[in-house]
Structure 1
Amino acid sequence: MIENIFYLSRSKYRSCGDLKLTSSIELLLAQYLIKAKPSALFIDIDGVITIERGSYIIDLETVDLLRRLMSYEIPVCLVSGNAYPTVLTLQRYLGLSSVFVAENGCVIQINKELTKLCRENLDEIADEIEKIFSLRKSLSNLFRLCDRAFHIPEAMKADREGVRRLERAIMEKYPYINALYTGYVLHIYPKYCSKSNAIKIIAEKMGIELEKAIAIGDSITDIDMIKSVGIGVVVGDADDEAKKEAKMVLPYKASQSTKYFLIALLNYLTRAS
């Protein structure tokens, strides 16, 4: 295992040029993969392939790079907190691998096989949380199979500690669920569900070696995922908690970070082939 964290400074690489940024990423890949190609790429959607955190606009240049990566026969699997129909639609229309994770690990799909990993319905708890904590339920709950989502007050979004206190208060009242804010909505889902558990199931069924896999995320819901693969990467404006667990913390924000990483990965694959 590579134990050191590559923490790339935005100011440093803007002054020295982007070549050093991609070279540093290639160095990490070469050290860990040793001329092999990664077994898979597991990638979040919101804040990773969107143009900024909080935006729903997908960066099509990033999508193009992901599709180029697939030409090397590397599975590119979306791993998201979004509702199952949303992830299914994005996977299909963006032309990515038909293997994905939705609702923070509560739902997985491998080709045409859908698996719900949750065992209970959270609607009653969601109703209670809405009343007790004065949170507005997301309309996406109409389409969610397991996970439920809430909008937090605008005034709280900039108060990171306030958000964390809210999460803790909900989890203290309902100790069997996670309550985590991603920069978009606050999700609740069973504690036995997680992105890491979902990708482990996928890896077992598809013969993917997770030690040679890459994961890219941005929020606290991605921490277990980036820790369960060989190379865990986060974008430059990721949650601090996620940055502490990543092998590489990129400069720049959201999809801008992701693009530089994907360019370096494609360069590495070209040299290694």
Structure 2
Amino acid sequence: MTADPPLVLDIDGTLTRPEGWGLDPRVFDPVRNWEAPVVIATGKAFPYPVALCHFVGIPELVVAENGGVVYTGDDVYFTADREAARAVTEEYRAAGYALGWGEEDTVNRWRETEIAVNVDQPVGPLKEIAARHGLEVIDTGYAYHVKDVDPNKGDGVETIADHVDIDLEAAVAVGDSINDVSTFEIVGRSFAVANADEAAKSAADDVLEGIHADGTLSVLERVRGSSVP
């Protein structure tokens, strides 16, 4: 039997329920039983994808914070410095705006390299302030990520591939947002779920009919047991 291809999976918008909030438990068994490496590549703070891997029961191969943090299972790599993002936060708040997550702000509490702002907050002044600090703002549909311009998910996936010997030409990636474009560019086959933004749809090899986990599950069924996606 032909081996399963390596997978690169986003979380929000890709492994979530069709209504768009919360992980869809239907993805757990197929991912846990996948016979090739599975890389979780997300904009979420570092602990979240690590915990997902832990609870699903797969090796912790993680790209977090849009490439700002990479975990190969043995070593953690930080590719950006959060200080500039913190400075943007202070200036944004001083201008009368909030990050939009409440006082405890669990969205940013454990971030190492970037800051995420709720999409309900004004993005215009955020972009202006970020630019003054040499940073960019990425709209993933779930948050505005204030980040260094250099790190991205694709670079992080390549770092993991080098360490655990993943053949990226044989790999399959599934995502939904502009921050998945760099991942789509380095794998053999890429899929955008139907709820993806236009940047992801344009970059993907295929745009799926299903949204969120429905689309991802259709890909897993389609490519399972195939080394050539």
- 1:38-60 CA-to-partner distances (Å, cap 9, x unmatched) read 652110011100113741x1111
Structure 1 residue aligned with 2:9:
43
* C-alpha separation in 2, matches of 1:133 and 1:194: 30
Aligned residue runs from structure 1 range 209-224, under 5 A: 209-224=167-182
Deviations 1:141-186 (A, max 9, x none): 11111121111227x8xxxxxx6x6775455444x32211212111
Distance 1:133 1:112, change over 3 A: farther
- Is 2:86 aligned against 1:123? yes
Rate the CA distance shift 1:247–1:182 in 2: closer, same or farther, 3 A.
same
**Structure with higher helix content:** 1
Distance 1:99 1:145 in 2: 17
1:80-128 Cα deviation digits (max 9, x unpaired): 1111111111110111222111111111111142221113422112221
Tell me the equivalent position of 2:40: 78
Is 1:233 the counterpart of 2:198 in the alignment?
Answer: no
- Whether contact under 8 Å (1:38, 1:214) holds in the other structure is no
Between structure 1 and structure 2, the one with the greater Rg is 1
Identity percentage of aligned residues: 26
Which of these residues, 111, 136, 149, is aligned with residue 99 of structure 2?
136
How many residue pairs are counted as aligned between the two chains?
A: 223
Runs of 4+ in 1 over 3 A off after TM superposition: 35-39, 130-133, 165-174
Evaluate the alpha carbon distance shift between residue 109 and residue 240 of structure 1 in structure 2; reply closer, same or farther with a 3 A threshold.
same
CA distance in 2, matches of 1:105, 1:131: 28
2:53 to 91, 104, 115: 91
Change (3 A) 1:61 1:118: same
User: CA shift at 1:36, angstroms?
Assistant: 6.0
- Report the Cα distance in structure 2 between the residues aligned to 1:243 and 1:170, rounded to whole angstroms: 29
1:263 Cα shift? 1.2
Question: Please, which of 154, 171, 196 is the counterpart of residue 196 of structure 1?
Answer: 154
Task: Quote the Cα distance in structure 1 between the aligned partners of 2:59 and 2:158.
Answer: 17
Q: Give the C-alpha shift of residue 209 in structure 1.
A: 2.0
Q: Normalising by structure 1, what TM-score?
A: 0.74
Tell me which amino acid in the other structure corresponds to 2:76.
Answer: L
**Structure 2 counterpart of 1:6:** none
TM-score by length of 2: 0.87
Q: Which consecutive unaligned segments of at least 5 residues does structure 2 have?
A: none
Give the equivalent residue in structure 1 for 2:113. Answer: 146
Cα root mean square deviation, aligned: 2.5
1:201 aligned partner, one-letter code:
T
Q: Deviations over 1:212-271 (max 9, x none)?
A: 1111110111111111211111100100111001001101210011111111122x44x9
Cα gap change, 1:239 to 1:166, in 2 (>3 Å): farther
Code of the residue aligned with 1:80 in structure 2: it is T
- Correspondence for 2:28: 63
* Cα distance, 1:190–1:224 mapped onto 2, change above 3 Å: same
